[in-house]
Amino acid sequence: MSFIEFDNVSYTYAAQTPNAVKAVKNLSLKIEEGDFVALVGHNGSGKSTVAKLINGLLIPEHGKVTVDGMSTADKKSLFEIRKNVGIVFQNPDNQMVATIIEDDVAFGPENLGLSPDEIRKRVDWALKSVDMYEYREGAPFRLSGGQKQRVAIAGVLAIKPRAMVLDESTSMLDPVGKKEIMDIVHKLNKEEKMTVIMITHFMDEAALADKIFVMDDGELILSGAKKVLTDPLLAAHGLDMPPACRIAEGLRKGGMNIGEVYTPEELAEEICRSL
């Protein structure tokens, strides 16, 4: 069994009312421990609903979601599931609960009932992991958006989850803040072997993942390795390729010999090689 599994999952908001919205339809997917996956799709395609289904904030209407073999529909497992999967949301301002940064990061481990010693250790480690340790005694409201989001990530890290879901967590950040978050997430995946599920509508961010899931209108329309990002089906669903892929395609049409690339760095290398 995979670490996270969706087995034919559907979810409807306001079910059985005239305002019912079928947000997720017959979705099946598998995520292995240690994976770095991206979930991409337009606004309203059902991505955030999937995020909430993963850690039991929402329970499937049909089908089953399991995390490490535990069903999210099983109330007894929810605490354990939420220890395993942390979510970082879009707006860092809605995720801060305390007036001092380190108290904010301590909130999760305190709720786990850990000893003060262990809490201290985890808070320090989490803040160092996101490079915010020196700010620990300050107030969150003084921070930039990127710094706040790093504190929010530290708050999730302090729970020591095995997987982290980032739901458009960089979308309110400037390019520098964005890159900081992506670098941290990459490091956590590579060095701590943390499973990362990055939800985004930016194709250049999706290009950093090893496995891609593409949703449209509540359905999974494509999934697989990076090659998915250049699939013609994307355009049919009104989605762009990552910018590096688009430029590479243009250069190939112009007669340049450019191999398979997904990121600006890979593109630059291919252009140099080709010249």
Residues forming the site for Mg ion (CB under 5 A): 47-48
Q: Which of 17, 43, 94, 115 binds ligand ADP (CB under 6 A)?
A: 43
Extract the tokens encoding 261: 């690339």
Question: Please, which residue, 105 or 199, has the CB nearer to ligand ADP?
Answer: 199
Going by their DSSP bridges, the two strands 62-67 and 4-13 should be labelled as antiparallel
Contact between residue 165 and residue 87 where contact means Cβ atoms under 8 Å apart: yes
Task: Choose among 89, 26, 4: nearest CA to 217.
Answer: 26
CB of 88 to ligand ADP, least distance (A): 14
CB of 87 to ligand ADP, least distance (A): 12
**Part in contact with ligand ADP (CB under 6 A); list of ranges 40-48, 67-75, 177-185, 241-249:** 40-48
Helix axes 101-111, 145-157, angle to 10 degrees: 30
Extract the tokens encoding 110: 């305190």
Q: How would you list the strands of the sheet with 62-67, edge to edge?
A: 21-31, 4-13, 62-67, 70-71
The answer to whether the Cα torsion of 150, 153, 159, 163 is positive or negative is negative
CB of 144 to ligand ADP, least distance (A): 25
Question: Please, which residue, 129 or 200, has the CB nearer to ligand ADP?
Answer: 200
Residue 46 binding result from Mg ion, ligand ADP, none, given CB thresholds of 5 to 8 Å by partner type: ligand ADP
Q: Which residues make Cβ contacts (< 8 Å) with residue 162, sequence separation at least 6?
A: 3, 33, 68, 84, 85, 194, 195
CB of 185 to ligand ADP, least distance (A): 18
Question: Please, which residue, 46 or 140, has the CB nearer to Mg ion?
Answer: 46
Residues 110-129 binding ligand ADP (CB under 6 A) are none
Question: Please, which residue, 45 or 189, has the CB nearer to ligand ADP?
Answer: 45
Question: Please, which residue, 47 or 82, has the CB nearer to ligand ADP?
Answer: 47
**Part in contact with ligand ADP (CB under 6 A); list of ranges 43-51, 65-73, 97-105, 113-121:** 43-51
Number of H helices, E strands in the chain: 10, 10
CB of 162 to ligand ADP, least distance (A): 23
Task: Tell me how far CA of residue 98 lies from CA of 94, 116, 121, 148, in angstroms.
Answer: 11, 17, 19, 12
Question: How many residues of this chain bind ligand ADP (CB under 6 A)?
Answer: 12
Residues that bind ligand ADP (CB under 6 A): 13-14, 21, 23, 41, 43-49
